Structure 1
């Protein structure tokens, strides 16, 4: 295997390993990585010698910081310009196919989510059968800061969090830790960060069989034995603030909810940061989050990804995404000039356009 490849593949007996290999970019997913990983997962699914898949990221900083938004920025439109929809359609359709494949994979998939796990990284992790976090895990769906939306199945997993935690996280982009991920249903086990290699060794030595259900049981029981003791796990902000988050989001309209969150005037730093992020974010994203969660509540997983593909391509073409990435990652002035500039200036027809299917023919994910 070429060690310069953006994804490395190897074997440990019946266990197949995939390593995202762009540590300097925090393993942010580009189109080549998505293609490589998806193709290899297809091969492993059909290979009887593979009983379990392990996915991790290289480097010390994290599993995956999200998607390669800079390349998407280059293909997206500025305000009033024509977008390059071919690239954005290919990128997101391939990414969502990969995420869907992991959600529906016939064999156990273990994802080691240590360090930074955001955006597209959560997309890979969310669908895995065994999702591991550590005491160093830092997660977020921070798309409000770049004029996108919590995609990669966010319409699915945010809707399945307790109470209105999913709405709060989708609107505010608030960071959360491994204990939060357990509480919110985005992780299954919290294992000490320095136990990664030991955990991999124990899993590789399991007496795997040709029965997927039995292999799932073996992996589950093994990881349960590796979990960090409760008294050594970090405190959960989502658990501690659950009642307060419920109160902040207990309104029937989006403007009321946003006013409530951004109007927080307490001394809790975590809630202060969430309020500040929402206040400075794209005024279009909250409307999209509100509507995507409403529409996605009773959709199938395939319907969720089809809806999100339309949203992703349309939002990249809207200019909000381009302005957000410009301010955060290109010019780095952190002063996005949103158009329109405020939540109340967004017309509902603009929100509806985000959900319209932008392709004249068959939807690219029609076969899911």
Structure 2
């Protein structure tokens, strides 16, 4: 059992509390291994009517997967007979997200504070996502030489227009209002009422309807208007500039836009890993018509090929370790990547594919 996650029942509610506060509740392998079997046990328990997941500490729901540990493990000799952490971590993280995606009972995420990367994986796949006015969410992977995994290829193309593509490539941050607009959030509840909401879910008579209907009824009684979504105000420009299937064409469209937003967006893209940008765009276009399980299998392939690329360790160094924010990407420009180089990241794995 991991000390970084609390797993308790409160009446008819199974309650998961991510409690790795110094790391903003980033999801470690030990946490994954604690949560998944408990979800299985609660799924079988007739007295448990719903599962809630939340973050401790007041700052973050979950700041993402523990990619720093994955990168550090890659720089050390692998003990004989031991599986690389990159292989183990992503396989088990994707299995947890897949379980949440298909969970039989209401799975309610209380998304308060920071939610990035793996935090979206733990929440967006559930049946209900409660967001508060303190939410900041993003998929910042292109800044660390990675790609928007944890089902990003499935949920980002389902955001309005090209907003998912824009967020994936730029790492743009969204608010609670944005979350409600794009479909990440299902209910907006004030932070100050979260404890009261948990108490209400524990006290409600779950025999009054189907479990998901009961959960929706309780959540709706607490839900308020999140207000206008800032991203929505930019949607027309986002759709114009991010509709192309080539990064070069997206940059050209931004240049033609001629606005301060477009120039700022171009500058942001210039700081990202060129490899990550091209792989991510290809991922989103390839996955937009695929069912979730096929997306997860494809993203597992990418998790292995992309983390093996030098940009991943360099991105982790620049952003999370040395924090100099000056990554030295290889190649340094989009022009250094051929189409066949990008396609190679999607090749079948020699050691076996992911399956649920």
**So what's the TM-score if we normalise by structure 1?**
0.91
What is the rounded CA distance, in whole Å, between the counterparts of 1:14 and 1:135 in structure 2? 27
What is the rounded CA distance, in whole Å, between the counterparts of 2:160 and 2:117 in structure 1? 20
User: What is the match of residue 222 of structure 1?
Assistant: 218
**Gaps in structure 2 of 5+ consecutive residues:** 77-81
**SS of alignment partner, residue 159 of structure 1:** helix
- 2:7 and 2:17 in contact (8 A); partners too: yes
For residue 117 of structure 1, the aligned residue among 101, 115, 118 is 115
- 1:77 and 1:316 in contact (8 A); partners too: no
The alpha-carbon deviation at position 77 of structure 1 amounts to 5.9
| 1:284 maps to 2:275 | yes
Query: How many corresponding residue pairs?
Result: 351
- 2:7 and 2:16 in contact (8 A); partners too: yes
Evaluate the alpha carbon distance shift between residue 275 and residue 195 of structure 1 in structure 2; reply closer, same or farther with a 3 A threshold. Answer: farther
| 1:44-65, Cα deviation, whole Å (9 max, x unpaired) | 1111111100100000101000
What is the rounded CA distance, in whole Å, between the counterparts of 2:83 and 2:236 in structure 1? 42
**SS of alignment partner, residue 110 of structure 2:** strand
The alpha-carbon deviation at position 75 of structure 1 amounts to 2.5
What is the rounded CA distance, in whole Å, between the counterparts of 2:130 and 2:296 in structure 1? 24
- 2:74 and 2:84 in contact (8 A); partners too: no
The alpha-carbon deviation at position 234 of structure 1 amounts to 4.5
- 2:245 and 2:281 in contact (8 A); partners too: no
What is the rounded CA distance, in whole Å, between the counterparts of 1:262 and 1:326 in structure 2? 31
User: What is the match of residue 191 of structure 1?
Assistant: 189
What is the rounded CA distance, in whole Å, between the counterparts of 1:58 and 1:262 in structure 2? 43
For residue 328 of structure 1, the aligned residue among 309, 316, 319 is 319
What is the rounded CA distance, in whole Å, between the counterparts of 2:234 and 2:346 in structure 1? 32
What is the rounded CA distance, in whole Å, between the counterparts of 2:263 and 2:149 in structure 1? 24
- 2:106 and 2:127 in contact (8 A); partners too: yes
What is the rounded CA distance, in whole Å, between the counterparts of 2:298 and 2:246 in structure 1? 22
The alpha-carbon deviation at position 203 of structure 1 amounts to 1.0
Q: Which has the higher contact order (CA 8 A, sep 6+)?
A: 1
For residue 75 of structure 1, the aligned residue among 73, 86, 90 is 73
User: What is the match of residue 230 of structure 2?
Assistant: 237
Evaluate the alpha carbon distance shift between residue 159 and residue 176 of structure 1 in structure 2; reply closer, same or farther with a 3 A threshold. Answer: same
The alpha-carbon deviation at position 252 of structure 1 amounts to 4.9
The alpha-carbon deviation at position 9 of structure 1 amounts to 1.1
What is the rounded CA distance, in whole Å, between the counterparts of 2:281 and 2:170 in structure 1? 12
The alpha-carbon deviation at position 35 of structure 1 amounts to 0.8
User: What is the match of residue 81 of structure 1?
Assistant: none
What is the rounded CA distance, in whole Å, between the counterparts of 1:281 and 1:249 in structure 2? 16
**Gaps in structure 1 of 5+ consecutive residues:** 79-83
For residue 206 of structure 2, the aligned residue among 205, 208, 221 is 208
The alpha-carbon deviation at position 322 of structure 1 amounts to 0.5
- 2:111 and 2:130 in contact (8 A); partners too: yes
**So what's the TM-score if we normalise by structure 2?**
0.93
Alpha-carbon RMSD: 2.0
For residue 300 of structure 2, the aligned residue among 296, 299, 309 is 309
The alpha-carbon deviation at position 277 of structure 1 amounts to 2.7
| 1:107 maps to 2:105 | yes
- 1:130 and 1:188 in contact (8 A); partners too: yes
The alpha-carbon deviation at position 185 of structure 1 amounts to 1.2
User: What is the match of residue 5 of structure 2?
Assistant: 7
| 1:256 maps to 2:254 | no
